[in-house]
């Protein structure tokens, strides 16, 4: 938007036009943030629905208070001093400046406190338990179903729609904060303590979780994928995760498997069905079937694996995994093919 020096519009008209366009841009940007895989205003869980309702009621309350203050300001600027008596002026100040904000804020407080019992309610019997350990800077995920052996994976969570899930949250080093905005509120992960969070997904989809507490250099690169599916699909996925890896007949995959052990990867990573039993790093048993690698920051695929292996320190600064950029391209390709085959 440009103006010429001979523009016939008045300064007031130009200011109004500018304000209108700025307001339109702000509203558009605000509405665009109300949806997406990491938006708390596009709820997909019971807790998130309540939090979103509270947010919109707070917006409405703030608009009421704002209008009252604007009206008082307008009356003070444009009104004549002789128009109102001193008693009326006191009523304006007390009513618009004190009474309205007090009533609105008290109503919002009561409404918000009314949500607390359900948000902090204990998990019902038989609820699926998922233990999440916040590492620097990735997530160790351990499913602990009522029946069957626990299943460990990393940086990806899958949930059955319509079923409550209890998360047991821990941290071995610093404070993290576990948060899946579309499903519910956040919960801190405090070293030496176990905190719990109950979530209840209400619709299927793929969402994004994150750490909401600054925890170090790569805090912003500590995300995870959340897939909510139908119960039958979830049960099939969980059963598949219990299985060890299958052997491959492809030469490039077998070459990558040898390189995996030759370069010491098995000292930190575990792959069920092989001799790799490391516990320092993420479990890689079915890493090829995950949506992303590196805690939600690199797309899964051969190119993503090559980039992660060769440039680990650049992709995620201060990560504890050493980079293997010294490996020849053909060895990086073989390693990537092996990891991609772990479905």
**pLDDT at residue 197 in the model:** 94
Confidence of residue 4 (pLDDT cuts 50, 70, 90): very low
What mean pLDDT comes out for the span 23-37? Answer: 58
Confidence of residue 30 (pLDDT cuts 50, 70, 90): low
Lowest pLDDT segment from 66-75, 250-259, 315-324? 66-75
Q: What is the CATH number of domain 251-341?
A: 2.60.40.420
pLDDT digits (tens, 9 = 90+) for 163-215: 999 999 999 999 999 999 999 999 999 999 999 999 999 999 999 999 999 99
End-to-end Cα separation, the chain, in angstroms: 53
DSSP 220: G
**pLDDT at residue 146 in the model:** 78
User: Does the pLDDT at position 252 exceed 80?
Assistant: yes
**pLDDT at residue 149 in the model:** 83
As a whole number of angstroms, the distance between CA 117 and CA 268 comes to 42
User: 216 burial class (0-12, 13-18, 19+ CB within 10 angstroms)?
Assistant: middle
Parallel, antiparallel or unpaired: strands 195-199 and 139-144: unpaired
Confidence of residue 71 (pLDDT cuts 50, 70, 90): confident
Domain boundaries, the chain: 28-119, 128-242, 251-341
Q: What is the mean pLDDT of the chain?
A: 86
Q: In the CATH scheme, what is the homologous superfamily, with its name and number, of domain 128-242?
A: Cupredoxins -  blue copper proteins (2.60.40.420)
Confidence of residue 2 (pLDDT cuts 50, 70, 90): very low
List of residues 6+ apart from 53 with CB closer than 8 A: none
What mean pLDDT comes out for the span 71-100? Answer: 76
Residue 284 Rama label (left phi>0; alpha psi -120 to 50; beta):
alpha
Q: In terms of pLDDT, which residue wins out, 90 or 304?
A: 304
Confidence of residue 79 (pLDDT cuts 50, 70, 90): low
Confidence of residue 88 (pLDDT cuts 50, 70, 90): confident
Nearest to 202 by CA among 60, 52, 54: 52
Full-model pTM: 0.82
**pLDDT at residue 214 in the model:** 95
User: Does the pLDDT at position 234 exceed 90?
Assistant: yes
Residue 23 Cα distances to 35, 58, 64, angstroms: 20, 20, 19
**pLDDT at residue 84 in the model:** 66
């Amino acid at each position: 938007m440009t103006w010429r020096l001979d523009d016939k519009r008045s300064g007031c008209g130009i200011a109004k036009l500018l304000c209108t366009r700025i307001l339109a841009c702000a509203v558009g940007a605000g509405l665009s943030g109300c949806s997406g895989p990491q938006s708390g205003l596009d709820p997909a869980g019971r807790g998130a629905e309540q939090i979103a309702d509270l947010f919109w009621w707070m917006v409405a309350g703030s608009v009421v208070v704002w209008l009252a203050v604007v009206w008082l300001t307008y009356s003070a600027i444009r009104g004549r001093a002789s128009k109102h008596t001193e008693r009326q002026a006191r009523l304006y100040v007390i009513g618009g400046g004190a009474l309205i904000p007090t009533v609105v804020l008290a109503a919002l407080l009561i409404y918000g406190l009314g949500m607390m019992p359900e948000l902090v309610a204990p998990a019902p019997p038989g609820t699926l338990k998922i233990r999440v350990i916040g590492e620097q800077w990735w997530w160790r995920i351990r499913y602990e179903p009522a029946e069957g052996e626990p299943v460990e994976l990393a940086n990806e969570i899958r949930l059955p729609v319509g079923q409550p899930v209890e998360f047991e949250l821990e941290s071995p080093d610093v404070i993290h904060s576990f948060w899946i905005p579309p499903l519910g509120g956040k919960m801190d992960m405090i070293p030496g303590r176990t905190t719990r969070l109950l979530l209840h997904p209400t619709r299927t989809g793929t969402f994004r979780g994150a750490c909401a507490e600054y925890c170090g250099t790569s805090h912003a690169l500590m995300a995870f994928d959340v897939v909510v599916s139908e119960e039958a699909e979830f049960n099939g996925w969980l059963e598949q995760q219990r299985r060890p890896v299958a052997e491959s007949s492809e030469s490039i995959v077998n070459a990558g498997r040898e390189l995996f052990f030759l370069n010491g990867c098995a000292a930190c990573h575990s792959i069920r069905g092989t001799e790799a039993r490391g516990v320092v790093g993420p479990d890689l048993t079915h890493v090829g079937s995950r949506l992303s690698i590196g805690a939600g920051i690199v797309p899964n695929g051969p190119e993503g694996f090559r980039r992660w292996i060769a440039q680990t320190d650049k992709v995620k600064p201060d990560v504890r995994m050493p980079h293997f950029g010294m490996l020849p391209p053909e060895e990086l390709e073989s390693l990537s093919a092996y990891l991609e085959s772990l479905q």
